[in-house]
Structure 1
């Protein structure tokens, strides 16, 4: 099982969590913690075996500990897979990469569906065999209705996590709020620089020496959500905007895949406008 928690920092948190698990014959396999001295918040992720234990009883018992320490916490069986909905637009490289990693077992998830604002033939190069595909076209005039249909689909499919795989539509503040902490976007630049449209063209015009991509949680403020993962690649004066776009696609794929894996493995904890990511 995986236990994650955050709470105001105080002495004895690790001891109480460890004692709780010991008293119930649980075996700790991995434990990571972080004390943010700026905010006074404590964060922890514990992976443990609970063979033969009643998981519901564990949650009920731990709730007493959590309440005493004012914790925000989750306790999940590692065998339970999150249901993920992938949203895409015209560019298909991130969608193709996530589907491939899922097929080979690298991303332990269930794909609840693929939603696109372009028709299915746009993704002829992506093997979507057996995956529910939903075409939800959108215009400026139909955005409200399209988002309502999308939200209904998220609810109907019991989706846990939404991934914007180069989905080139800005989610409304209302939908962003509903998906707080469970909607991941890949931004094709190294945030907080070069926001908005054509970031690689912006980077080329500034003569940058590295380009990057950022995976972050979606919030009502465009490209301002807490950052989960980033990566960069060196470029030179010889690179054209097209070269930057080509190299950028590779960065986007690996950054989004890592961010999603961290989410699937309960490695990401929100810390205000930032995140605590317990990498492996």
Structure 2
């Protein structure tokens, strides 16, 4: 009875969606534990997240999916139904800056990020992270140059397949993915950008911010697309600064923002709280 499932969906808005979902679950012996919904009046699309479990009878997930398929077809839904006990498999890509990687591993070990790390991939050798304990997580050194970019990305994509990775996280991976790679990872790759997008895109954003004399700096976690730093935003945060802060001090303060923003975005994704809405996202928070 404590076994929980989660259903997420989006579809053109019309009367009867909530009724159809709740009626289906009730008729199949399921009890709704939490339900959140959003109607985007600008696009005319409806979004919903439902957590449920068995009220008096256990029904296999496959059977629930099969039965719900008819409703999904009737309402033209994009949907998924998952067992919440099934942890997603996550690959972490990182370059020299390891603060996000350290934070992710800590949150994973303490249970804050419920996932299965499949691999750590870096364009720098293992010696660059000699003070970090990766435990049993495989480490892959995949160097990259302008000439070898295609081969390196093919190797990463092969690794995604062999490890059955479901989410790729760019934990300060300072390489721009090709359009082809971005397309393959659409909706399955989260990047942390060390700036409050859409301002200060590209390289050295803290130095750009300092040159403009901003009073707030921030970080943005977003899904990767072929447009650099333009993907759907999942989470953001900011911190107040002053004219006394140097670019180096902004970088130091920014590390803390980056860590917490990336961790929140990952948790939202792992808990099926994020639904794509064109170039934006709908995020059902706790």
TM-score relative to the length of structure 2: 0.97
Mark the runs of 5 or more structure 2 residues left unpaired by the alignment. none
Considering only aligned residues, what root-mean-square deviation do their CA atoms show, in Å? Answer: 0.6
Does residue 36 in structure 1 map to residue 40 in structure 2? yes
**1:11 aligned to 11, 15, 36, which one?**
15
| SS of match in other structure, 1:110 | strand
Q: Report how far residue 130 of structure 1 moved.
A: 1.0
Listed as ranges, the matches of 1:1-280 within 5 Å are 1-50=5-54, 52-280=58-286
| SS of match in other structure, 2:244 | coil
CA distance in 1, matches of 2:265, 2:132: 21
CA distance in 2, matches of 1:127, 1:212: 29
Q: Is the 8 A contact 2:29 2:58 kept in 1?
A: no
Question: C-alpha offsets along residues 23-82 of structure 1, whole Å, 9 cap, x if unaligned?
Answer: 111111100000000000000000001361111100000001100100000000000000
CA distance in 1, matches of 2:134, 2:99: 13
CA distance in 1, matches of 2:232, 2:272: 16
Question: C-alpha offsets along residues 204-261 of structure 1, whole Å, 9 cap, x if unaligned?
Answer: 0111000000000000010010000000000011111111000000000000000000
CA distance in 2, matches of 1:242, 1:125: 23
| SS of match in other structure, 2:161 | helix
Mark the runs of 5 or more structure 1 residues left unpaired by the alignment. none
**Runs of 4+ off more than 2 Å:** none
CA distance in 2, matches of 1:108, 1:212: 26
CA distance in 1, matches of 2:46, 2:129: 44
CA distance in 2, matches of 1:123, 1:258: 24
CA distance in 2, matches of 1:126, 1:277: 32
TM-score relative to the length of structure 1: 0.99
| SS of match in other structure, 1:216 | strand
Q: Is the 8 A contact 1:92 1:126 kept in 2?
A: no
Q: Report how far residue 126 of structure 1 moved.
A: 2.2
| Corresponding residue pairs, total | 280
CA distance in 1, matches of 2:11, 2:104: 33
CA distance in 2, matches of 1:214, 1:125: 27
Deviates more, 1:80-89 or 1:120-129: 120-129
CA distance in 2, matches of 1:54, 1:104: 30
